[in-house]
Amino acid sequence: MANDAGILMDTQRGGALTPSKPSSAWWQDLALERGGLRAVKTGALIPFSLDNLIAVLRGFANYTATQGLRLGARFGPVRPIRIAFTPHQPQPWHLIWSVLHVTGGKIVKDINTADAVFYFEDTTTREACPLNTISTPIENIRRINCACLDVSKSKVARVFAEVFGYPLGLDPTTWHGQAVEKSELNGAHDGHIITCPAKRKVGMVYEHVIDNSDNGRFVEDYRSPTIGGKIALVYIKRRSMNYRFANTNDKVLLQRPEQVFSAEERETLARFCKAMDLDWGGIDVLRDRQSGRLYVVDVNKTDMGPPTALALIDQVRSVRLLSRAFREFMLT
């Protein structure tokens, strides 16, 4: 069983974007304490365990492979893509870090030299994009995720119902039967099944229980990285029913989008991403075994990856596929 988080478990002067804490030095985003490593930004604790040690080693193996591809891309014939991130910079455990560098791209601080500005912050909601505080006009620069300011579970459920035409969320005080209770916050991984009717708790959302098991023993999640609303590939994550809501996987497979979703489903998922203002990010999709319907249960605009439970050769392959898709997105 591998921890899916890999090595981490979950401005203004002229045109310069100065990232706030955490630092661009990745090790400053981690704090050593008794019992594990603490993620400074999110507060998540990565316990010392054999599973997490294996995840770290797999993460570093992918990091090493990415650095090799990055070096080769630097000598390629195409001009590197330059991205200015604000208010934070991605770290090696974030998927966009690997994807950008494998394209031969660069992270820059000066928006005057950037091809795009990428709003990058591991928060669930924000009232306004930090780009609004930049003194230099940036009307003509491409913006990525700058309008994606709310990825709370309640908004995901609301937008899902509007786009797909059937509900994910429910009212626990009137529903009779089982329901999933989980935090509004992104990356909490605290979902559990309750019996309704039940009292609504502050800061929690309530959803239908989706039967996404393949045989009653394991569940399958479709983590789908999206670029410009298009699903570039699918990580099929399999884990035991005993820890169906955990951030761990027993096995991960890499699939093409057309192997998992029909053309109509891909189009509907693209409309969902547009409604969420998601230019880049991972969406977690479940397929109900009984009805065959899709349900989008989570949106992550600062997604990590590739999953460490995925074979190393497929980790590298997936980053290369995403890099090509990202370059195409930037050139359109």
pLDDT band with cut points at 50, 70 and 90 for residue 11:
very low
CATH of the domain at 202: 3.30.470.20
Instruction: Kindly report, residue by residue over 210-237, the tens digit of the pLDDT.
Output: 999 987 789 999 999 999 999 999 999 9
pLDDT for 15 equals 47
End-to-end CA distance of the chain: 40
Domains in the chain, number: 2
User: Is the domain of 122 the same as that of 90?
Assistant: yes
CA distance 297 to 158: 11
311 occurs within a structural domain: no
Instruction: Kindly report, residue by residue over 233-254, the tens digit of the pLDDT.
Output: 999 999 999 888 887 889 999 9
Helix, strand, coil % in the chain, rounded to nearest 5: 30, 30, 40
User: Is the domain of 120 the same as that of 159?
Assistant: no
Question: Token pair for residue 147?
Answer: 């309008």
262 occurs within a structural domain: yes
User: Is the domain of 26 the same as that of 162?
Assistant: no
DSSP one-letter string for 250-279: SEEEEE-HHHHS-HHHHHHHHHHHHHTT-S
Quick count: other Cβ atoms within 10 Å of Cβ 263? 9
308 occurs within a structural domain: no
Please identify, among 131, 149, 167, the residue that sits at the C-terminal boundary of a domain: 149
CA distance 233 to 322: 8
User: Is the domain of 99 the same as that of 229?
Assistant: no
User: Is the domain of 280 the same as that of 174?
Assistant: yes
Which amino acid is present at 272?
F
Number of H helices and E strands in the chain, helices first, is 6, 18
User: Is the domain of 118 the same as that of 175?
Assistant: no
User: Is the domain of 9 the same as that of 141?
Assistant: yes
User: Is the domain of 69 the same as that of 191?
Assistant: no
116-120 and 142-144 strand pairing: parallel
Rg (CA), the chain: 20
Quick count: other Cβ atoms within 10 Å of Cβ 53? 11
Please identify, among 86, 120, 149, the residue that sits at the C-terminal boundary of a domain: 149
User: Is the domain of 176 the same as that of 55?
Assistant: no
Mean pLDDT taken over the chain = 84
309 occurs within a structural domain: no
Q: Report which of 39, 227, 20 is spatially closest to residue 109, judged by C-alpha positions.
A: 20
207 occurs within a structural domain: yes
User: Is the domain of 112 the same as that of 159?
Assistant: no
Sign for the CA dihedral angle at 321, 325, 330, 332 comes to: positive
The residue-averaged pLDDT of 45-63 equals 66
Domain that holds residue 256: 153-300
User: Is the domain of 69 the same as that of 190?
Assistant: no
Instruction: Kindly report, residue by residue over 167-196, the tens digit of the pLDDT.
Output: 999 999 999 999 999 999 877 788 899 999
Which burial class, exposed, middle or buried, applies to 253 when counting CB atoms under 10 A from its CB (0-12, 13-18, 19+)? Answer: middle
DSSP one-letter string for 48-71: --HHHHHHHHHHHHHHHHHHHHHH
User: Is the domain of 139 the same as that of 225?
Assistant: no
pLDDT band with cut points at 50, 70 and 90 for residue 199:
very high
